Amino acid sequence: MNDTPTRAPVAAVIVLAAGGGTRMKSRLSKLLHTIAGRPMLSYALDAARALQPERLVVVVGHLREQVEAHLAESAPQAIIAEQPVRNGTGGAVACGLAALGDLDGVVAVTYGDVPLLSGETLSLLVDQHVADGNACTVLTAVVPDPTGYGRIVREGGEVARIVEHRDATEAERAIAEINSGIYVFDARVLREGLSSLQPDNAQSELYLTDVLGYARAHGGRVGAVRTDDAWQTEGVNDRVQLAAVSAEVNRRLLEHWMREGVTIADPSTTWIEAEADLSADVTILPNTQLLGATSVATGAVIGPDTTLRDCEVGENAHVIRTHGELSIIGEDAEVGPFARLRPGTVLGARGKIGTFVEAKNAHIGDGSKVPHLTYCGDAWIGEGVNVGAGTIFANYDGKHKSPTHLGDNVFIGSNSVLVAPVDVADGAFVAAGSAVVDDVPPGALAVARGRQHISDGWVAKRRPGSKAAQSAAESSGQVHQAVEQAREKLAREQEDHQ
Ligand code: UD1
Ligand code: CA
């Protein structure tokens, strides 16, 4: 979301992404699990690119084929460095540095699994680093529970070193200021510091954090930038953290859209993914998910209980209790409640897809209505058409899918079956209950059903003594009586006239 470029030139950003991710218990690389519809790694890449570095390196290891395939698509300019053995963060950065060859100037190190770090914060870190002439600058945060993190040990206010939780004394564990793992280094100090690392610690790993002690010992300045937004340092190691970070990303996206003029009736049940695009004066009702590249134009009302993925909703449209995918809804159109829009549904302006209607690859013209209980697949429908309740577009003969064409101002009577391929031309009518298998010419009426036949007195003959027979007898008795009364009245009147 933030792409403020820093003024200081950045020679390289090294993104660490080789870790095992074992706590995810997943066949999918942790870095490809999505947050607000985007792979976790893409957040780190965005933040890195905000620095406009000369070079961007991603250090891969665990499930590297998956990560590399993603990078080939999303960041083809990135240099991929393999860390063959997971020997710690120091080892990982050394691999990244080796892939860069000769290097001078500012190098930033970030993690692929810290999605909320913003480009803005990284830029601040670089600016501070350059302004203070530091050898190393680390991003820190004060957190309520620092368990597991490296602690920032300060002496006289200055950062002296970082001690890992497992190597820390009781007194050091009481420190609430943690190492985010995000740093800016002077390339020369980093290279020298890395080559001095020894795995003499609780985890027998090469700790990148020991480079800070090295820098100090060799006369370099070590600075720190403390962020007030601890979410920016929050890593994702398991699915509990994935859910927590996802909820926070969603909360921030909702806040962004509300500030842009979108009404969100119930933020606690609304999910809007990162790629969605909303206009001012859109209203989102409870239990709504706007996923993928969904866009919603001004005045539209979405929800309640609606999921749209990769849909385009026009101005002032209403979409209620609907599940939609890869569909376009025109301006002033109405959809739902209880509608399913499958890929390729295009509803024109002022059109309607109503209750219990499923549409797929259906082009429904301006002002045309499919209001109730219909399957509408592979359909090309003109303007001003009315499709009666219960109509089925029978597009599949068991082997092939075929299209149905309805011209402008066509009227389809209720409970009809349109057996594709079939054309109903402009202005034609289809009688209710028809099974239409032949094309209907313009302006014609097609009646494709059995004619109604009446067998008088059938119930009295075939169901004698039944309730139906009794009702029928009473009914005809009443009619008989009424006719008699009318006759008598007429006779009296005629007598009076004589
Ligand atoms: C590290 C820091 C710790 C800090 C914490 C913040 C060290 C020694 N410790 O902890 O001070 O508070 O991050 O989250 O640096 N990685 C590799 N290769 C490896 C090991 C790790 O690429 O061999 C990557 C991981 O994918 C991850 C990052 O480095 O993105 C951090 O690894 P992780 O094991 O989570 O951090 P810690 O070492 O526990
Ligand atoms: Ca971690």
DSSP 192-252: HHHHT----STT----TTHHHHHHHHTT--EEEEEES-GGGG----SHHHHHHHHHHHHHH
pLDDT score recorded for residue 7: 62
pLDDT for the residue numbered 12: 98
The confidence score (pLDDT) of residue 25 equals 97
Per-residue model confidence as pLDDT tens digits over 369-398? 999 999 999 999 999 999 999 999 999 999
Ligand closest in space to the Cα of 234: 1
Q: What is the pLDDT of residues 203-225, one digit of tens each?
A: 999 999 999 999 999 999 999 99
Tell me phi and psi for residue 133, to 5 degrees: 60, 40
For residue 6, pLDDT over 50 is answered with no
Ligand 1 pocket: which of 89, 153, 185, 205 to mutate (most atoms within 8 A of CB): 89
Q: Which atom of ligand 1 is nearest to the CA of 179?
A: 12
Based on C-alpha coordinates, what's the Rg of the chain?
36
Share of the chain above pLDDT 70, in %: 98
Work out the pLDDT band at 496, boundaries 50, 70, 90. confident
pLDDT band at 1 (very low <50, low <70, confident <90, very high): very low
Instruction: Answer whether 29 contacts ligand 1 (Cβ < 6 A).
Output: no
Cα–Cα distance measured from residue 329 to residue 348, given in angstroms and rounded to the nearest whole number: 7
Q: Find out whether the beta carbon of 242 lies less than 6 Å from any atom of ligand 1.
A: no
* Helix 210-217 and helix 187-195, axial crossing angle in degrees, nearest 10: 110
CA dihedral of residues 294, 295, 300, 306 (deg, nearest 10): 10
As a whole number, the mean pLDDT across the chain is: 96
Choosing from 33, 372, 400, 453, the catalytic residue is 372
Ligand 1 neighbourhood includes 211 CB (under 6 angstroms):
no
Check residue 4 and give its pLDDT. Answer: 52
Q: How many angstroms is it from 137 CA to the middle of ligand 2?
A: 19
**Residue for token digits 């009404």?**
263
The span from the CA of 20 to the CA of 262, in Å, is 40
If DSSP codes are grouped into helix, strand and coil, which group holds residue 451?
coil
**Residue with CA at minimum distance from ligand 1 atom 3:** 150
Q: How far is CA 485 from the centre of its chain?
A: 74
What percent of the chain is modeled with pLDDT above 90? 93
CB 287 within 8 A of CB 304: yes
Q: Give residue 497's pLDDT.
A: 78
pLDDT digits (tens, 9 = 90+) for 467-485: 999 999 998 777 677 778 8
Residue 92 sits at φ, ψ, to 5 deg, of -65, -45
**Does 372 qualify as catalytic in the annotation?**
yes
Taking only the tens place, the pLDDT of each residue in 399-457 is 999 999 999 999 999 999 999 999 999 999 999 999 999 999 999 999 999 999 999 99
* DSSP 8-state symbol, 158: E
164 lines ligand 1 (CB under 6 A): yes
407 is in an annotated binding site: no
Distances (CA, A) of 283 to 44, 168, 180, 312, 325: 31, 52, 38, 15, 20
Which H or E run includes 429?
strand 429-430
pLDDT band at 94 (very low <50, low <70, confident <90, very high): very high
Average pLDDT over residues 261-286: 98
What does the pLDDT read at residue 483? 75
The CA distance from 493 to 498, in Å, is 9
DSSP helix/strand/coil, 21: coil
CA of 235 to the centre of ligand 2 (A): 5
Q: Is 113 annotated as a binding residue?
A: yes
Q: Is 213 in the pocket of ligand 1 (CB under 6 A)?
A: no
